[in-house]
């Protein structure tokens, strides 16, 4: 696995509830925890709304993970759950476009109301609470103020900036929060504020991870969420792609994080709760594991052996940004964690997953 810190094969946490447990991130964490700690009772709680999540149910069952079909929007669904020692809140409506092209009710009720139900359940059982937030809590209007330079294949952050919280390493936790960020980002930021209140007034043990682009095998990628898997899949099945916005050159940049690297961190956090209690941390691939669409295309061509047609549209799309990079300085200094899996490895892992599961994945991703 190449973990930075190997922990003894006995968990301080004997039971974990993972919300969104049949989704991409939730199921990946559940399976990794069960592999690392076979005696840990893990419950995957999910409403199975996202297409493709049903494919994870046999994987969870075979690993000995309990699946409970429920919805975090419905507090009564928590009543059937036993007490656990830790909650990993990995459920969300993760689309940046959600609520912009349709009614916002499901988004708000899931990402905000659902978090309240999860917090109350955790408080009832005195469980630790690990919240997977998002880099999208940082405002679009502030990100648009970042001074960029245009290099041959990507945009870069300039050394001189008009405000704090941004450097060539990326966005730090001190980045300005005033402005608009998408309804998805707003609901996650509101949830962060509530978690901080529960931490302070109810003495709950909490940690907030502001995750950048998470990816890896078993992600059902779409244009607005899961773009790395989408890009590899389109190359695998030789289908058209597009560079949209920012001149249509594909120079927009994201740092990306393999879900296994996220597991390494969450595992460490649950083993060292006192160290991370009450903290809010940026968590992403960082500059070293970042990629532009143009660079991603070249890697996909190399890994898959396929070249696909790419259309170009110069006009920007709603809620899109030219660059996001995670400054991991705080989380690395606090825990010693840093991501290990490169962009090339991530693309290769996704490619092999597509090859091995082509029949069942093509109706969803093809």
Question: What does the pLDDT read at residue 189?
Answer: 98
Pairwise pLDDT comparison (51 vs 261), residue with the higher score: 261
SS (H, E, C) the chain: CCCCCCCCCCCCCCEEEEECCCCHHHHHHHHHHHHHCCCCEEEEEECCCCCCHHHHHHHHHHCCCEEEECCCCCHHHHHHCCCCCEEEECCCCCCCCCCCCCCCHHHHHHHHHHHHHHHHHHHHCCCEEEEEEEHHHCCHHHHCCCCEEECCCCEEECCCCCCCCEECCEECCCCCCCCCCCHHHHHHHHHHHHHHHHHHHHCCCEEEEEECEEECCCCCCECCECHHHHHHHHHHCCCCEEEECHHHCCCCEEEEEEHHHHHHHHHHHHHCHHHHCCEEEEECCCHHHEEEHHHHHHHHHHHHCCCCCEEEECCCCCCCCCEECECCHHHHHHHCCCCCCCHHHHHHHHHHHHHHCHHHHHHHHC
Work out the mean pLDDT of the chain and round it to a whole number: 94
pLDDT, tens digit (0-9, with 9 covering 90-100), for 100-126 = 778 899 999 999 999 999 999 999 999
Mean pLDDT for 55-84 is 97
pLDDT band at 8 (very low <50, low <70, confident <90, very high): very low
pLDDT, tens digit (0-9, with 9 covering 90-100), for 136-167 = 999 999 999 999 999 999 999 999 999 999 99
Select the CATH number that applies to the domain covering 140-168+216-255+285-366 from these four: 3.20.20.70, 2.60.40.1730, 3.90.1580.10, 3.90.25.10.
Answer: 3.90.25.10
**Percentage of the chain modeled with pLDDT above 70:** 96
Question: What does the pLDDT read at residue 98?
Answer: 74
Mean pLDDT for 206-211 is 98
Residues 6+ apart with CB under 8 A from 328: 170, 282, 283, 284, 286, 338, 339
**pLDDT over threshold 90, residue 329:** yes
Provide the 10 A C-beta neighbour count for residue 207.
23
**pLDDT over threshold 70, residue 52:** yes
Mean pLDDT for 288-306 is 98
**Percentage of the chain modeled with pLDDT above 90:** 87
Task: Measure Cα distances from 224 to 38, 184, 205, 219 in Å.
Answer: 35, 12, 33, 13
**pLDDT over threshold 60, residue 321:** yes
For residue 70, give the nearest of 116, 123, 141, 17 by alpha carbon: 17
**pLDDT over threshold 50, residue 6:** no
pLDDT, tens digit (0-9, with 9 covering 90-100), for 180-199 = 999 999 999 999 999 999 99
Pairwise pLDDT comparison (92 vs 253), residue with the higher score: 253
| Residue ranges, CATH 3.90.25.10, the chain | 140-168+216-255+285-366
Comparing 40-44, 129-133, 216-220, 258-262, the range with the smallest average pLDDT is 216-220
CATH for 14-138+181-211 is 3.40.50.720
Question: What does the pLDDT read at residue 223?
Answer: 60
pLDDT band at 225 (very low <50, low <70, confident <90, very high): low
| Residue ranges, CATH 3.40.50.720, the chain | 14-138+181-211
pLDDT, tens digit (0-9, with 9 covering 90-100), for 234-274 = 999 999 999 999 999 999 999 999 999 999 999 999 999 99
Mean pLDDT for 7-15 is 63
Question: What does the pLDDT read at residue 224?
Answer: 59
Question: What does the pLDDT read at residue 132?
Answer: 98
């Amino acid at each position: 696995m190449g973990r930075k810190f190997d922990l003894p094969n006995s968990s301080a946490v004997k039971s974990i509830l993972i919300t969104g447990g049949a989704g991409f991130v939730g199921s990946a964490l559940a399976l990794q925890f069960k592999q690392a700690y076979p005696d840990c009772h893990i419950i995957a709680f999910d409403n199975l709304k996202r297409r493709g999540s049903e494919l994870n149910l046999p994987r969870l069952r075979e690993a000995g993970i309990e699946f409970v079909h429920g919805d975090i929007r419905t507090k009564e669904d928590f009543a059937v759950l036993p007490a656990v020692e830790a909650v990993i809140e990995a459920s969300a409506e993760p689309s940046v476009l959600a609520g912009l092209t349709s009614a916002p009710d499901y988004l708000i009720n899931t990402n905000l109301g659902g978090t309240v139900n999860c917090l109350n359940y955790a408080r009832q059982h005195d469980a630790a609470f690990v919240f997977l937030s998002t880099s999208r809590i940082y405002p679009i209007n502030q990100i648009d103020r970042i001074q960029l330079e245009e290099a041959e294949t990507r945009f870069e952050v300039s050394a001189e900036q008009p405000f704090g919280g941004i450097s060539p390493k990326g966005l730090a936790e001190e980045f300005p929060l005033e402005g608009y960020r998408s309804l998805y980002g707003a609901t996650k930021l509101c949830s962060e504020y509530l978690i901080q209140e529960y931490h302070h007034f109810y003495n709950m043990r909490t940690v907030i991870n502001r995750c950048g682009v998470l990816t890896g095998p078993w992600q059902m990628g779409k244009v607005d969420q899961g773009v790395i898997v989408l890009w590899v899949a389109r190359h695998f099945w030789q289908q058209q792609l597009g560079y949209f916005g920012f001149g249509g050159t594909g120079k927009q940049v994201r740092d990306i994080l393999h879900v296994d690297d996220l597991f390494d961190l969450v595992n460490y956090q649950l083993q060292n709760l006192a160290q991370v209690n009450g903290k809010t941390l940026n968590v992403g691939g960082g500059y070293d594991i970042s990629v532009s669409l143009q660079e991603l295309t070249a890697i996909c061509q190399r890994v898959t052996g396929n070249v696909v047609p790419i259309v170009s549209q110069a006009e920007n799309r709603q809620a899109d940004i030219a660059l996001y990079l995670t400054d991991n300085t705080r989380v690395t200094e606090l825990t010693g964690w840093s991501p290990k899996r490169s962009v090339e490895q991530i693309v290769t892992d996704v490619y092999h997953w597509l090859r091995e599961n082509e029949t069942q994945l093509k109706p969803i991703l093809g």
